[in-house]
Structure 1
Amino acid sequence: MTRAIILAAGRGSRMGALTAEQPKCFTRLHGRRLLDWQLTALRGAGITDIAIVRGYCADRFDEPVHYFDNPHWAETNMVRTLAEAADWLRAGPCIVSYSDIFYSAETVRRLAACTDELAISYDPDWLQVWQKRFADPLADAETFRRHADGTLAEIGARSDSVDAIEGQYMGLLKLTPPGWVRIEALLAEQGAAADKLDMTSLLRHGLARGWRIGTVPVAGPWGEVDSADDLAAYAQVSFDHVAD
């Protein structure tokens, strides 16, 4: 049975006053917290066993889910937060979600159905989203290229051409126990440097080691919230099918 892990340890300082006294995933979009949209999509996809990895403002969480904690959230990055849920990652397949995104249940279902040991969701029509969020989409967008068989070929570098970017990683991925074993081995090699490793850097290290990483296109609405401006950018997004 597939479980889900939401990575919610960081503060999200770019949100300013919106996260001064609450976790980033408590930010409201269309009247509901980002966390509520995530839980709705995950449960809509049939996932009932859900964990949240807490850190900043950990005492604010009261959802009836399982909890892991990253007590060093202020000094570490996303991958160390993920490692706090290692018990689940070793035990069975897990959908792993950033806490500052929203997405549909159908995207979760597609990702869960992917047979690769490690797979990520992505948006092939990313430019429409990035043009709403940024005056210059290339100021934030990163390279994303796939092999002919649909597996990941490149991710996480800067690009000076929109046409050279085939999509954008969404912050939603699937890990199986064999995939997690590879990640744990990489973290052991990295030593203390692993504390600062972000997810796209991890994926890039994996590609350099020959990992096969599946890619699954998004279905339905999705977005990433990094600033108050992003909330305004998504004001016209329909959330009618998040649970479908």
Structure 2
Amino acid sequence: MKAVVLAAGRGHRLGPYTADRPKCLVEVAGGTLLSRQIAALRAAGASELAIVSGWQGKSLEGRGLTVFHNTRWAQSTMVESLRCAAQWLSSTEVLVSYGDIAYTLDAARRLAKAEGALAIAYDPHWLSLWERRFTDPFDDAERFLLNADGSVAEIGGRANGPADATGQYMGLLKFTPHGWAELERVRSEAPVEVAATLDMTALLNRVIQAGRVPVVAVPAPGPWCEFDHPHDVSVGTAIVRRIDELRRISAGRQM
């Protein structure tokens, strides 16, 4: 199994934190988000790691990671960044992590063990985190609904209330080559002008609607946090410290 971190975006909403670096290199509680992502992905069984670079891409070189550079990072979506790693995705199982999140080793491990061609991690207890991040949590929450078999029934678009959000997608995915091929197939079936603008959840929702490959939903153990606004650094500092503590405890058990 391999792993890819998506870190091409400019991260404008984080303001001064990303003036000279990609979001994955923002430091929180004494370490970068990237260092924690690498630790979790390696713990989940990733033998090789890559990063998709864009904004301030040179800062991601020389870190022992394969670098796939998105030359069109300023004009393209997260989907286009993911496609930069197509040679890995088409040949082996790959864990994919957004570059602006922090999560536990167990969250990555649970996703790695998920069966199915395409799986995503989600937080079933998301509301308490969103209430700390936003004045109105439903200003940001996305629709996320499950089928009885645990697959995703709907993802993306604004959630209007609790009934629309069984959980929240975290930005952690797993693809087999078959799952990746289906994502690419669905994208190719969209009109060219639509395909160029599809974000990740919109494309995943199209995969669900196509009905050929289910999107498996994996409830992930917390804590975790997304870093999208300056306020998230304040909210996320205590969360990241707890993640670090859990990692130390895990390491101690393995000694």
Shorter-chain-normalised TM-score: which range? over 0.9
Indicate if the aligned counterparts of 1:34 and 1:99 stay in contact, CA closer than 8 A.
Answer: yes
Summarize the alignment of residues 20-169 of structure 1 with structure 2, pairs less than 5 Å apart.
20-61=19-60, 62-169=62-169
Match 2:217 to one of 215, 218, 221: 215
SS at match of 1:120: strand
Partner of 2:246: 241
Alpha-carbon RMSD across the aligned residues, in angstroms, is 1.3
Aligned pair count? 243
Output one character per residue of 1:86-124: Cα deviation in whole Å (capped at 9) or x when no partner: 000011110000000011111111111111100000000
Structure 1: 5+ residue stretches without partners: none
Indicate if the aligned counterparts of 1:79 and 1:194 stay in contact, CA closer than 8 A.
Answer: no
Indicate if the aligned counterparts of 2:183 and 2:204 stay in contact, CA closer than 8 A.
Answer: no
Does residue 228 of structure 2 align to residue 226 of structure 1? yes
2-side partners of 1:194 and 1:132: how far apart? Answer: 34
Structure 2: 5+ residue stretches without partners: 251-255
Does residue 201 of structure 2 align to residue 196 of structure 1? no
SS at match of 1:166: coil
2-side partners of 1:20 and 1:158: how far apart? Answer: 29
- Select between 190-199 and 150-159 the one with higher mean Cα deviation: 190-199
Deviation at 1:67, TM superposition (A): 1.0
Percent identity over paired residues: 42
Deviation at 1:234, TM superposition (A): 1.7
- Higher relative contact order, chain-length normalized (CA < 8 Å, sep 6+): 1
Deviation at 1:38, TM superposition (A): 0.4
Does residue 206 of structure 2 align to residue 205 of structure 1? yes
SS at match of 2:238: coil
- Select between 181-190 and 206-215 the one with higher mean Cα deviation: 181-190
Does residue 32 of structure 2 align to residue 3 of structure 1? no
Output one character per residue of 1:211-236: Cα deviation in whole Å (capped at 9) or x when no partner: 30101111132110001100101232
2-side partners of 1:185 and 1:209: how far apart? Answer: 10
2-side partners of 1:143 and 1:220: how far apart? Answer: 20
SS at match of 1:196: coil
Output one character per residue of 1:5-62: Cα deviation in whole Å (capped at 9) or x when no partner: 0011111110111111111111111111111110111122232310001111111113
SS at match of 2:158: coil
Indicate if the aligned counterparts of 1:220 and 1:241 stay in contact, CA closer than 8 A.
Answer: no
SS at match of 2:228: coil
- Select between 138-147 and 180-189 the one with higher mean Cα deviation: 180-189
